Amino acid sequence: MRYVAMRGHGGPDVLYVAETPKPQAAAGEVVIEVEAAGVARPDALQRAGAYPPPPGASPNLGLEVSGVIDSVASDVVGFRVGEPVIALCNGGGYAEFVAVPAGQVLPLPPQWSFVDGATLPENAFTVYDNLIVRARLRGGEVALIHGGTSGVGTMAIQMAQAVGATAIATAGSDEKCEAAIRLGASAAINYRTSDFVERVGEITRGRGVDVVLDIVGGDYIDRDLRALALEGRISCLATGGGATASIDLRYLLQRRATILGSSLRPRTADEKAEIARGLRAKIWPLLPARHPIAPVIDSLFTFSQAAQAHERLESPEHIGKIVLVPDAPAAP
């Protein structure tokens, strides 16, 4: 089978298409024939050598796919060959076939194409676990979503609406702020031209927000604290803005605040399966309507264009999800 390989670590130009044997389903796994693969920020970090895969995971890129079940291990029940699915992978998703623990596989939602479905796994698992389960966002509350036009951000805006909450987004341009509002954010803040703490105070009339979903880290954490309402929660997902943070503990104490952190990829198969069960029960019934949660696709590339896909991911222009599809078979 064809897959996207790397010539060592480095920039997008290290990516190329190579051949490798098709995977076999080990105990507890299914093999998926890939129709589309999502391109996620962790893929770019792994390509650059900054995010090594955990022990036992595939060293190849790709954490999310959509496709059809090709084969099922003898101990797996609930899936049939030919069934359309999406899956959170442990790596290796940029390939024509990938083996995935069955607990991390969910049905492709009705009315969603395979390309649509490839936008779901990494973002849906991440946002549901961190925004809904861990940070306990509920109807009537207000969430501040940093990076509102990223893959995670677009999903978070929509999932906040799905539970009856209000989303305020930050983004790096007026165009992106407008896109966040089109997705359902009640307000959007251009962090390059405004102080988001001041703007949150104005928007909420001094109350603050109940939850912050932070994909920046660094000095944003202290600023997040200042934007919180009483009993507010900060869920920190990444450290792109810095791996260390200095906070004013007075705000932590005064707000009776909670700071949470988590990483999805190192979690066990059982933990990821638990998130999948929650998604299937709470979020999947909403997806066929494509509102309030719908795919947000920035651009589409083939496996042989993986380098261009990563260049697009690392540019400031993209809005939503970048998706890869296998190249068409060569003519005989």
pLDDT tens readout for residues 133-175 = 999 999 999 999 999 999 999 999 999 999 999 999 999 999 9
Please, what are the domains in the chain? 2-120+266-325 (3.90.180.10), 123-261 (3.40.50.720)
Nearest to 236 by CA among 152, 179, 320, 161: 152
Asked if 133 contacts 278 with a C-beta cutoff of 8 angstroms, the reply is yes
pLDDT of 291 strictly over 90: yes
The sign of the dihedral angle between the CA atoms of 319, 299, 286, 216 is negative
What does pTM read for this prediction? 0.96
Q: How are beta strands 142-145 and 105-107 bridged, if at all?
A: unpaired
Residues 70-119: tens digit of each pLDDT: 999 999 999 999 999 999 999 999 999 999 999 999 999 999 999 999 99
Q: Is the peptide bond before 292 cis (omega within 30 degrees of 0)?
A: yes
Residue 167's H or E segment, with its range, is strand 166-171
Q: How far apart are CA 297 and CA 22, in angstroms?
A: 29
Report yes or no: 303 and 324 within 8 Å, Cβ to Cβ.
Answer: yes
| 231-280 pLDDT tens trace | 999 999 998 899 999 999 999 999 999 999 999 999 999 999 999 999 99
Q: How confident is the model at residue 332 (pLDDT cuts 50, 70, 90)?
A: low
Neighbouring residues of 36: CB distance < 8 A, sequence distance ≥ 6: 65, 66, 67, 114, 115, 117, 118, 323, 324, 325
CA of residue 118 relative to chain centroid, distance: 11
Q: Which residue has the tokens 């979020």?
A: 283
Residue 243 region by backbone torsions, left for phi larger than 0, else alpha for psi between -120 and 50, else beta: alpha
Give the chain's count of helices (H) and strands (E).
10, 15
Q: Name the average pLDDT for the chain.
A: 97
Report how far residue 187's alpha carbon sits from residue 189's, in angstroms, rounded to the nearest whole number. 7
Concatenated DSSP letters of 69-138: EEEE-TT--S--TT-EEEEE-SS--SBSEEEEEGGGEEEPPTT--HHHHTTSHHHHHHHIIIIIIIS---
Half-sphere exposure of 248 (CA within 13 A, CB side): 11
